[in-house]
Amino acid sequence: MPQKPQSALKVPKPLKPLAKMLKGRGFRLAVPFDDIREPGYIGTFIEGQEIIVDDGTCLKPFVTLKKRTVALGDTTKGSKFNLKGFLGIFGGLLGINFDFQGAKNVTIRFPKRFVPSQFITTLDIVEDLTKVSPACRKALEDPDNFLIVQTLQTNSFEYTVDTKKNLTVDAKAQINEAVKGVSDFNATVKFESTRKYSIVIQGKTVTVAYKRISIPTLLD
């Protein structure tokens, strides 16, 4: 029986050059970026939305994660979004309670190169299918689901915001206050001009791309 095609989230136009580079190395861009996807994660797509089927619990007791380096191109380039497009995809600045009123566009840049995670081999997965619970095996063998076997991660983001009007003293104070209120990671702000400022976020590791497989294709 032919396998059903797996859907994918549409890559935003500003991120297509990065997605193309990653695709050449077997990785798919993870949009939005988050700290949930890891090797062993099982997901599916319902009405264009990625849904978590399993967070890695199913395979964790059985598989052995392995490590190797991956040669990547320049992953530090920036991608510019209009404000509406940025908020529609990312929602904000990784949890910072921030007012974007007056912003014209937002550029995302990755100051550091992506770091590859440990990975799961396909042979390991096939061998372990007999050990997992019936519910986990059903999830793994569903052709609509996919399994992540490796990710690319970063813990450093830089957001550059261009504003429509000159930043007032009060506006700058509000931006500084929002950044100071962050406790889960380090965030710093730099005012580059009267209409441009950057926020650098470090210390929160997120997945920006991943390799995925469909288990039924391994069993054919």
Q: Is the pLDDT of residue 50 over 60?
A: yes
Cα distances from 147 to residues 37, 176, 189, 193, in angstroms, run 10, 41, 38, 45
Are 87 and 159 contacting, i.e. CB atoms less than 8 angstroms apart? no
Are 197 and 186 contacting, i.e. CB atoms less than 8 angstroms apart? no
How high is the pLDDT of residue 73?
66
How high is the pLDDT of residue 39?
93
How high is the pLDDT of residue 112?
85
Are 182 and 129 contacting, i.e. CB atoms less than 8 angstroms apart? no
How many Å apart are CA 25 and CA 27, to the nearest integer?
A: 6
Q: What is the mean pLDDT of the chain?
A: 85
Local confidence band at 218 (pLDDT 50, 70, 90 cut-offs): confident
Q: What is the mean pLDDT of residues 164-191?
A: 87
| Between residues 191 and 10, the one the model is more confident about | 191
Both tokens of 211, joined, read 């390799």
The per-residue DSSP string of 155-214 comes to EEEEEEEEESSPPPHHHHHHHHHHHHT--SSEEEEEEEETTEEEEEEEEEEEEEEEEEE-
Q: What is the mean pLDDT of residues 152-169?
A: 91
Question: Considering only CA atoms, which of 29, 108, 116 is closest in space to residue 76?
Answer: 108
How high is the pLDDT of residue 148?
95
Q: pTM value?
A: 0.82
Q: What is the mean pLDDT of residues 66-83?
A: 77
Local confidence band at 5 (pLDDT 50, 70, 90 cut-offs): very low
Both tokens of 219, joined, read 């069993």
Q: What is the mean pLDDT of residues 215-219?
A: 82
| Between residues 42 and 33, the one the model is more confident about | 42
Local confidence band at 37 (pLDDT 50, 70, 90 cut-offs): very high
CB atoms within 10 A of CB 35: 12
| Between residues 51 and 94, the one the model is more confident about | 51
How many Å apart are CA 151 and CA 156, to the nearest integer?
A: 16
